[in-house]
Amino acid sequence: MIHILFTGGTISMQRDAAAGGNVPVHGGAALLRLAPGIERISRYRIEDWARMPACHFTHDGLWALRERVREVLESGEVSGIVITHGTDILEETAYLLDRTLERQVPVVITGAMRTSSDEGWDGPRNLRDAVAVAASPSSAGRGTMVVFAGQVFAGRTAAKRHTTDLEAFSAPHAGPVGRVSEESVAFASTPEARTAPVRPGSLRARVAHVPMVVGDHGAMLDLALAGHDGVVVETFGSGNVPPGAVAAMGRWLGENKPVVLASRCWWGEVTPVYAFEGGGARTTAMGAIPAGPRTPSQARMELAIALSAGVPYGSA
């Protein structure tokens, strides 16, 4: 049995002339009528959990979704879960679920880039593909995955790379782990051994995301200091910041609030090799932490999870 949990997003939308654009309309039953063939893949049940754009999620909303998924997983009633989700923050949701839930039962997240009013609506194919992945015996032990345009990505690596392309998702630090073709699922390798998931009691920590700009003097970092528990600094290149921002980073560290360095570059990681003022070697020596194989949004979610759980950044 596959549990299909609908949260909204573009896959649920159609164009509304009175509203002046796309709005959520379709519930789960309506979407499944528009995506025939899923009944051939697996038995399923429907849950209309929400019908909203992804950009309306809050931390509390993300945690409520995580808790609902956990309840379904722990019920023992399903062999997989499929979540339909708006693409705007789909990568944050995928990261949260992949880092905090058990991995034996697959959780597959999908969505669409076009609405049911558009030519070439990709929702039905993505939904069928997601159910195929969730129902595949080879998905066991892989945890949360993102399925889009025939590709399968690990939940902790998937990121939206394009605003409108049908192939909107990629994994800049990893690549796809599998593919789906005509409801046939093929993975590139067996599930990797991983440490236990992090188990925060909530997503209470508030983490700022401050991108660096040319000539930055740390004003935005200082403004964010009072209301946040940690910060992800989106750096240039391999971890460098303007010299004027260094003192502000020091003020975060002086209050024992972690500073994580994530590059604005799409590919590659922060590599602290530059020892000039503002260089990554200097700021990591102060106590800043490289993000590792994470985009800035993934680094922000990792830090929020770690602070909420009381564990070091990237410890699990």
pLDDT for the residue 202: 96
Question: Does residue 99 sit in the same domain as residue 180?
Answer: yes
Question: Does residue 25 sit in the same domain as residue 156?
Answer: yes
Does any domain span residue 158? yes
d(CA 76, CA 78): 6
* Domain boundary residue, one of 187, 218, 237: 187
Question: Does residue 233 sit in the same domain as residue 118?
Answer: no
* Domain boundary residue, one of 187, 221, 246: 187
Nearest to 6 by CA among 20, 15, 178, 38: 38
For residue 19, name the pLDDT band (cuts at 50, 70, 90).
confident
Residue 86 has pLDDT above 90, yes or no: yes
Does any domain span residue 22? yes
Does any domain span residue 251? yes
What's the pLDDT tens digit per position in 190-230?
A: 888 788 899 999 999 999 999 999 999 999 999 999 999 99
Pair type for strands 230-235 and 259-263:
parallel
CATH (domain of 252): 3.40.50.40
pLDDT for the residue 92: 98
pLDDT for the residue 314: 79
d(CA 212, CA 97): 29
For residue 35, name the pLDDT band (cuts at 50, 70, 90).
confident
pLDDT for the residue 316: 53
For residue 181, name the pLDDT band (cuts at 50, 70, 90).
very high
Number of neighbouring beta carbons within 10 Å of residue 250: 17
Question: Does residue 85 sit in the same domain as residue 146?
Answer: yes
d(CA 126, CA 119): 15
196-200 long-range contacts, Cβ below 8 Å, gap at least 24?
196/316, 197/99, 197/100, 197/101, 197/102, 197/103, 197/316, 198/99, 198/100, 198/305, 198/306, 198/309, 198/311, 198/315, 198/316, 199/100, 199/309, 200/100, 200/305, 200/308, 200/309, 200/310
* Domain boundary residue, one of 187, 219, 237: 187
When mean pLDDT is compared across 108-112, 186-190, 231-235, 296-300, the lowest value belongs to 186-190
CATH (domain of 183): 3.40.50.1170
Mean per-residue pLDDT for 108-128? Answer: 93
pLDDT for the residue 20: 85
What's the pLDDT tens digit per position in 243-292?
A: 999 999 999 999 999 999 999 999 999 999 999 999 999 999 999 999 99
The question of whether 10 is a catalytic residue gets the answer yes
For residue 75, name the pLDDT band (cuts at 50, 70, 90).
very high
Does any domain span residue 80? yes
Does any domain span residue 201? no
Does any domain span residue 44? yes
Mean pLDDT of all residues belonging to the chain: 95
pLDDT for the residue 247: 98
Instruction: Work out how many domains the chain is built from and give that number.
Output: 2
Question: Does residue 30 sit in the same domain as residue 165?
Answer: yes
What's the pLDDT tens digit per position in 120-148?
A: 899 999 999 999 999 999 999 999 999 99
Of the listed 10, 84, 87, 100, which one is catalytic? 10
Mean per-residue pLDDT for 95-119? Answer: 95
d(CA 131, CA 113): 18
Q: Which domain holds residue 114?
A: 2-187
Question: Does residue 290 sit in the same domain as residue 213?
Answer: yes
Does any domain span residue 199? no
Q: Return the higher-pLDDT residue of 15 and 112.
A: 112
Does any domain span residue 243? yes
Question: Does residue 14 sit in the same domain as residue 78?
Answer: yes
Enter the pTM of the model.
0.95
For residue 24, name the pLDDT band (cuts at 50, 70, 90).
confident
